[in-house]
Structure formats: structure tokens, C-alpha cells
Chains A and B, each alone.
Chain A
Amino acid sequence: MSAGLNRLPGNPLTCPELVELATEHLEGALDAHTDRRVAEHLAHCPDCPRYVRQLLLTIELSGRTTDDALPEAARAELVELFARLHRQP
């Protein structure tokens, strides 16, 4: 246990536990007590804040990916279908 984490009172989270809880922490899905333990761990751990930062960057980068473009032929076919159905419901 690093010096920082060692000074925490009670039963501090370990780093692998922090990794397991990271998404629940980011989603606000943890109970108040556990969330406080996560915050305490992050305030003292030399490494886990970087892990969480990298998860946030991962989320941001995932948000910048885009779906494969629909081939023009497929799009045209579906629009033609719409036009046909709309003319003859």
C-alpha cells in the first residue's frame, strides 16, 4: 500500500477495487458511502486518478467515432421504399 493510501482511516479501497468501480462512480450509481471511499482513494492514490482520466478520454474518443456510412445504394433503396409505401399505403 502506498504511503498516501496507508494514512487513510478505516478500510481504504484497493486499486483493483477502484478499477472495478470506476464506471459506477462516473455514472453516479454508487451508494454515498462507497462513492466517498472512491473519492478518498482518488485523492490519495498516485496512479488511479490517471486511470479514471484515461477512461474519460476513452469515452470522449468513442464519442468521436462514427457509424459506418450507409452505402448510397442501400439508402436510395430505402427512400424509394418509403416513397412507394407512401403512395400506396
Chain B
Amino acid sequence: MRPMDERGIDGRSTVEDMGDAELVAALAAGDEAAYADLVVLLTPTLLRLADLYVPTRAVAEEVVQETWVAVVRGLPGFEGRSSLRTWVCRILLNRARSVGARERRSAAPPGDGPWHAPERGRFFPIGTWEAPPSRWDELPEERLMAAETIAHVDQAIAALPLRQRTVVELRDRRHWTAAEVSELLSLSDVNQRVLLHRARRSVRASLEEYLR
């Protein structure tokens, strides 16, 4: 196991390169380094998923803590029918849903509210661009990929409605597959794509504004 400070700059850790079987064996053997890596890797995702259902960050943190207890206790029963990360996330979601239902007295999480296309008002009635996308994609690579630009994208993602934010973080930040995300969040393929597309459109529009 690599020590934490040798983590790559993209934040990927050793457990991401381990197969599930290898990782489960390490955890079962009490490998604290493997567990620490898994916790660092998955806890932000778990908090984001918990946020979908519970009203406050403090409750989300409690649910995440309980989830890790359930993961350690339930590990001997993990059969590898889904990936380990999906299994962990599903434990979290079951808890977050029941805690959320109790706290909100409703099983349904709040929706994202009405959505307005960021490109609205930029087309001629005939269906061509009146105000076409600005040419920020032609900026030099150093500017486009600068830490400041990435920090701006991070803020733009954080400002998205929660469901869009969750989907775009899983898909475009953590590189989960469409099938994994749809299944985990009980979304149809179409709805998963709608949320992803809305998120990407908003972030693109925000970049256009930022890189003027």
C-alpha cells in the first residue's frame, strides 16, 4: 500500500487500482491502510449522496459514519454481485432514505426545482445562433487548464441543484458509468442523461462567462 502522500495529483489512490476481491481480502484481514484509502476515496461521494435525502450536513455525517460501521460488519456477506463501491453506496442510500423520511416526514427527496436553459434567448426564431458561443475554447491550454479555471469549474458544479450536481460529480469527476449512476440513484437512463446534460450546459455557460 502506498503511503497517502504519494497519491497522484489527480487524487486517485491505490484502492482504485486494486480489484474488489483483493480489496475485500485486505479489509477482511484488518488492513487499516486499505480501509483508510477506501474511506478517503468514497466518503465525499457518500456525503454527496446522503445530502440528497437528509436535511443537514451533520445528519449526513452521522449517516456516513453508520454506513462505514455497516460496511465493516457486512463485509463477510459481500458477494461481489455488484462492485464494492456500488455496494457501499447502496448501504448509504438505504440509511439516508430512511433517516431522511423520518426527518422530513416524506420519503421523496426535494426535487431540483424549475430549470431554465442557459442558452435561452441566444437563438434567432428561425433556429440559428444569434449570440453564438464565445471563442473561449481557443484560449491557450495554459489558461484553459489553469488551476484557477478548474477552481471555477469546481464552484460552478457546487452551485448546481443537488440532483444535477450528484450526477455530474459521479459521471464527469469520478468517472462512474451511466449504468452505475442510473442504477444507484434509481434513475431511468433518460433521466440520468437529462440531469447530466443540464449540469454540463450550466457549467459550460459558467465557463463562457468566466473566460470572457
* Chain A contacts for B112, CB-based, 8 A: none
Contact between A62 and B123 (Cβ–Cβ < 8 Å)? no
Report the bound CA distance from A83 to B73 in whole Å. Answer: 12
Contact between B10 and A64 (Cβ–Cβ < 8 Å)? yes
Contact between A62 and B39 (Cβ–Cβ < 8 Å)? no
Report the bound CA distance from A54 to B175 in whole Å. Answer: 19
B183 beta carbon closer than 8 Å to chain A: no
Those of B1-53 within 8 Å (CB) of chain A: 10-11, 30, 32, 35-36, 39-40, 43-45
B189 beta carbon closer than 8 Å to chain A: yes
Contact A61-B207, Cβ < 8 Å, known A47-B132, A67-B44: yes
Which of the residues B43, B133, B196, B207 comes within 8 Å of A50, measured between beta carbons?
Answer: B133
Q: Say what secondary structure dominates the interface of chain A.
A: helix
Contact with A along B180-212 (1 / 0, CB 8 A): 000000000100010011001101100110000
* Chain A contacts for B61, CB-based, 8 A: 74
Contact A61-B208, Cβ < 8 Å, known A17-B127, A82-B68: no
Contact between B200 and A58 (Cβ–Cβ < 8 Å)? yes
Contact A65-B40, Cβ < 8 Å, known A16-B119, A29-B189, A82-B35: no
* Chain B contacts for A75, CB-based, 8 A: 36, 39-40, 43
B62 beta carbon closer than 8 Å to chain A: no
Q: Say what secondary structure dominates the interface of chain B.
A: helix
Contact between B35 and A79 (Cβ–Cβ < 8 Å)? yes
Seen from chain A, the residues whose Cβ lies within 8 Å of a Cβ on chain B are 1-2, 5, 14-17, 19-20, 22-24, 27, 29, 45-48, 50-51, 53-55, 57-59, 61-68, 70, 74-75, 77-79, 81-83, 85-86, 89
Cross-chain pairs A/B with CB under 8 angstroms, 8 sampled: A2-B128, A14-B126, A15-B128, A16-B123, A65-B150, A66-B11, A78-B43, A79-B39
Besides the contacts A2-B128, A51-B132, what 19 more A-B pairs have beta carbons closer than 8 Å? A16-B123, A23-B193, A23-B196, A29-B189, A51-B204, A59-B172, A63-B175, A64-B153, A66-B173, A67-B11, A68-B44, A75-B39, A78-B68, A81-B68, A81-B69, A82-B32, A82-B39, A82-B72, A89-B73
Seen from chain B, the residues whose Cβ lies within 8 Å of a Cβ on chain A are 10-11, 30, 32, 35-36, 39-40, 43-45, 61, 65, 68-69, 72-73, 117, 119, 123, 126-129, 132-133, 135-137, 144-145, 149-150, 153-154, 157, 168-169, 172-173, 175, 178, 189, 193, 196-197, 200-201, 203-204, 207-208
